[in-house]
Copies of this chain bind each other. A is one copy, B any other.
């Protein structure tokens, strides 16, 4: 029966299975029956278009979202309109986990390119998690992963210079594309330079200059949104460059 669904042409089911599989099920020992149960509570939304809001900060929290296709950015709109981009979400990635605590969305989420998402009503997901221990475990893992990722970003913003930040960003994208079966070295950016800079704590101009410099140094080719990483190894070297260089930052006794 589970098999039936996988090979069926019931697009909605298959689509949802895809999202949930990627983020929720694949890594853990969920039985096919469990997956079916999960599938049953997952809803696929209408296609969303660039500029649409998936939700806004302060909205009542009802669903976790999983990107199926497209890209979503999450951001803190700030009290006065000064955004802070918190993340770019590619297919298979979840959005809205920060809303569980208060029941209201802690950040906003906006569509960067035509996107399909799966909606998972959180209350039902909780109910199911109580019944299926491995699903509960998987949920804990997902939340924990988010924390770990945010901590990595804190290190990026707290310790790395502009060059290292952009290299890290590109390599992150590269890896995420690769894991999803796309080219790790040839892709299109769905976000603007402005959004990249905002995300990395840099000015637009700095991002632009760095792209130019990276290109001049043969690290990549860039033409607007189109990126080709020519030397991934050297990009990785940038990350592990001068970390030990600063004697003073060596350690906190």
Q: Report which A residues bind B (CB closer than 8 A).
A: 76, 78-86, 97-102, 106-107, 126-127, 129-130, 133, 136-137, 139-148, 150-155, 157-159, 192, 194-195, 198-201, 240, 243-244, 246, 249-252
The 4 closest A-B pairs by CB, nearest first: A100-B144, A150-B150, A158-B201, A143-B143
Q: Does A126 lie within 8 Å of B133, measured CB to CB?
A: yes
Contacts A158-B157, A201-B159, A243-B78; is A192 near B252 (CB within 8 Å)? Answer: yes
Q: Does B158 lie within 8 Å of A98, measured CB to CB?
A: no
Cβ contacts under 8 Å, A246 to chain B: 82
Number of copies: 2
Cβ contacts under 8 Å, A155 to chain B: 76, 78, 84, 86
In the bound complex, what is the Cα–Cα distance between A143 and B240 (angstroms)?
30
Q: Could you list some 15 contacts between A and B, CB below 8 A?
A: A76-B155, A78-B159, A81-B244, A82-B244, A83-B251, A84-B154, A86-B154, A100-B144, A101-B145, A101-B148, A143-B143, A150-B150, A150-B154, A194-B252, A195-B252
In the bound complex, what is the Cα–Cα distance between A125 and B140 (angstroms)?
11
Cβ contacts under 8 Å, A106 to chain B: 148, 151
Question: Nearest chain-B residue to A96 (Cβ)?
Answer: B144
In the bound complex, what is the Cα–Cα distance between A116 and B199 (angstroms)?
38
Cβ contacts under 8 Å, A158 to chain B: 84, 157, 198-201
In the bound complex, what is the Cα–Cα distance between A192 and B133 (angstroms)?
43
Which of B129, B141, B199, B249 touches A101 (beta carbons < 8 Å)?
Answer: B141
Cβ contacts under 8 Å, A143 to chain B: 97, 100, 140, 143-144, 146-147
Question: Nearest chain-B residue to A155 (Cβ)?
Answer: B84
Q: Does B81 lie within 8 Å of A147, measured CB to CB?
A: no
Which of B151, B153, B194, B200 touches A107 (beta carbons < 8 Å)?
Answer: B151
